Amino acid sequence: MEKTSHNPLICYSLRKRPDWVSFASAALHGSIRWKEARLDTHDAALPIPGPVGQSRRILRAIFLSPSDVGTDDCQNRIQRLFHLNGGQDVVIVFLLKQEEDKVSPMSAFMTLQLSLGEFEMPVIPVNSVQMVPNSLMAFHRQISTSSGPRRMASPAQTLLPYCSYGPRLSEHAVNVLTDITSDMRDLLDMMTIPDGRTKIIDLLEDESEGAISFWEKEYMVD
């Protein structure tokens, strides 16, 4: 049961999950005062400050790693997270961890993003467990200070900068790719046909090689 608290909360169960066992230490010994609690449907809960008299908002997060992707438990957790508040004030933290004899973390990340379907929600990729507290707090600050309707981040804007062999794609390259495709599946299709790759080369110029190589070598299209 989630306790009422003004502090960020983390779930006790993380201590039993090998990929995340060090998170409690990273969070509890940091500058932000986290507390442990029982969270039945998620792994972290961060209260979002708001005007007095309005319903209290809470950012809720689940933590996933490559070995979770594609399992029934993973899909069930994603669905439960989404339905907590209709897809608002939720986020997935994904650990980019290479596992022995497994697909690359970026391929698993892509598979996760494509599998969200109607449960579309923000995904934060992190390179280590130690990065999670600061990454979560940065996302928390972003949605706490945003004005207007609470809109979910575009999966393409979250994912595409990392879809390159070599340096991350620039904001310009990401904007170009999202302008010429309707969704991630459309982008996958474009990267697999000669005419599509030619168009990418013309539009991205120096960044095209890294983008095309990622889809050819890093992510296998079924």
Instruction: Tell me the pLDDT of the chain averaged across its residues.
Output: 81
Same domain, 73 and 134: yes
| pLDDT score, position 146 | 64
33 with 116, same domain: the answer is yes
Q: Is position 4 within any domain?
A: no
Dist. CA 150–CA 139, nearest whole Å:
13
Domain boundary among 128, 148, 168: 148
The pair of three-digit structure tokens given for residue 145, joined into one six-digit string: 């200070």
- In this prediction, residue 150 carries a pLDDT of 46
Place 54 in a pLDDT band, splitting at 50, 70 and 90: low
**Do 58 and 102 reside in the same domain of the chain?**
yes
Confidence of residue 6 (pLDDT cuts 50, 70, 90): confident
Q: How many domains does the chain have?
A: 2
Residue 140: burial class (beta carbons within 10 Å; 0-12, 13-18, 19+): buried
116 or 182, higher pLDDT: 116
User: Mean of the pLDDT values across residues 63-90?
Assistant: 91
1 inside domain: no
Q: Which of 148, 174, 198 is the last residue of a domain?
A: 148
Residue 151 confidence (pLDDT): 47
Length of the chain: 222
Q: What values do phi and psi take at 46, rounded to 5?
A: -125, 115
The per-residue pLDDT for 79 is: 93
Q: Is the pLDDT of residue 149 over 60?
A: no
Domain housing 134? 9-148
Q: Quick one: pLDDT band at residue 74, thresholds 50, 70, 90?
A: very high
Using the predicted structure, report yes or no on whether residue 22 has a pLDDT greater than 90.
no
The per-residue DSSP string of the chain comes to: -PPP-SS-EEEGGGGGSGGGTTHHHHHHTSSS--EEE--SS-SEEEEE---TTSPPEEEEEEEE-GGGTTSHHHHHHHHHHHHHTTT-SEEEEEE----TTS--HHHHHHHHHHHTGGG---EEEESSGGGHHHHHHHHHHHHHH--SS--PPPHHHHHGGG-SSSSPPPHHHHHHHHHH-SSHHHHHHHHTSHHHHHHHHHHHGGGHHHHHHIIIII----
Classify residue 96 as exposed, middle or buried by CB count within 10 Å of its CB (0-12, 13-18, 19+). Answer: middle
For residue 72, tell me if it sits in a domain: yes
Is the pLDDT at 125 greater than 90? The verdict is no
Asked if residue 144 and residue 37 are part of one domain, the reply reads: yes
Q: CA-based Rg of the chain, rounded to a whole angstrom?
A: 18
- Domain edge (last residue) among 148, 176, 196: 148
Q: Are residues 36 and 138 in the same domain?
A: yes
CB atoms within 10 A of CB 148: 5
Q: Write the CATH number for 138.
A: 3.40.50.10130
Q: What is the pLDDT of residue 152?
A: 46
Residue 28 token pair: 């509890």
Same domain, 20 and 56: yes
